[in-house]
Amino acid sequence: MKPLAYLVVCASLVAPSGPHRSEAFRFQPAAGSALDKHFMTKGDLRLVGLELEYDGTVCDPAMFGLDGEALFRFGYELASRDEYKEIVPGRPTELLRTFAGLGFWVESDEGYETRRTGDGLIGKTIRYVWDERAKTYRRSYVGDKGTPTQLAEMDEDLDLRALLPANEVEEGETWVVEGETLASVLVPGLDFERALEDEHDFLGTIPDELAAALREALRSARATCRYEGYEEGGSEHGIIGFEGQVRADVALDPELFFRDRSSEDIEVSSLMAGIKSDLSGRCRWNLSEGRFESFEMEGAGEIILEFDLDVIPLGIELTGRATFAIDFARDARAETHD
């Protein structure tokens, strides 16, 4: 091998493969631009275990009319057109959102079904204007008006800004997002805190104890984000990986869940719930346009209910434990509206 060629080969072996690429993820769509957004979440909740015990002895649930089988399917959908009238780095200062779709549902093979839709908002437009002094958005209808409660329960952030790092990051670098900051990622489009306070057109009335449980679950939420790499293809894109978890243990009023199932023979006297879920996702951020382009998230976990059953005719008390497995997937897209 010639000396020059030998030096080139040696240099290629010891030289670094190249500098780590770093990016500053910014939210800054162009003022006057508009995006069509669609969020869809689907999942199921399955009863995977039911245990009853009396005086240290395990009992067959069928003895008490409990079959130990249940399957619920649920979903949530939101579609809108967002027009960014004015923008400052990090947030819109004036946003017009026109709703194209809004609803959630729960159903089971046994015939249980509940559906709520935001029909009163479909086709209507809400204006969000940032109030710098109050550090919040003022909301108003444009044209046809919906109800004040509909106006109150819909949040401005459908941009997944909570996932962005505060500073420029290198490939492989991680950062943490936790607590209420994650609300816009976990429940997109809903003002979570306001929705828990009063009766609302879309969500209905949420009892105080259940609201407290949901707040505790949100406070426990924690996610680690990671800059996974850079992609080209028409525009420049940065990929943010997402790994998170939700944990909560709360005492609940049995009446919230068993009001229609309790009978003169069986009464649920106490109820504890343990919630845990692991989340993972991937956000494709358009670096050229300063906005998210797609987001996929999956979640898997379990809900454990521990309860006391009073079997009134027999004068006995049973302790029980029901384990539900929960799985869901979310897909979100944002496309430029021409």
Q: In a structure prediction context, what are the per-residue pLDDT tens digits for the chain, which is 338 residues long?
A: 544 444 333 333 333 434 456 788 999 999 999 999 999 999 999 988 888 888 778 877 766 556 566 789 999 999 999 999 999 999 999 999 999 999 889 998 777 788 877 778 899 999 999 999 999 999 999 988 878 878 888 899 999 999 999 999 999 999 999 988 888 898 898 887 776 665 555 555 666 767 777 788 888 899 999 999 988 776 899 999 999 999 888 777 776 655 555 455 667 778 888 889 999 999 999 999 999 999 999 999 999 989 887 777 777 788 888 899 999 999 999 999 87
| Domain ranges, ordered by start, for the chain | 23-336
- Any residues with CB less than 8 A from the CB of 54 and at least 6 apart, and which? 316, 317, 318, 319
* CATH match for 23-336 among 1.10.3470, 2.60.40, 2.30.230, 2.60.420: 2.30.230
Alpha-carbon distance 100 to 102, whole Å? 7
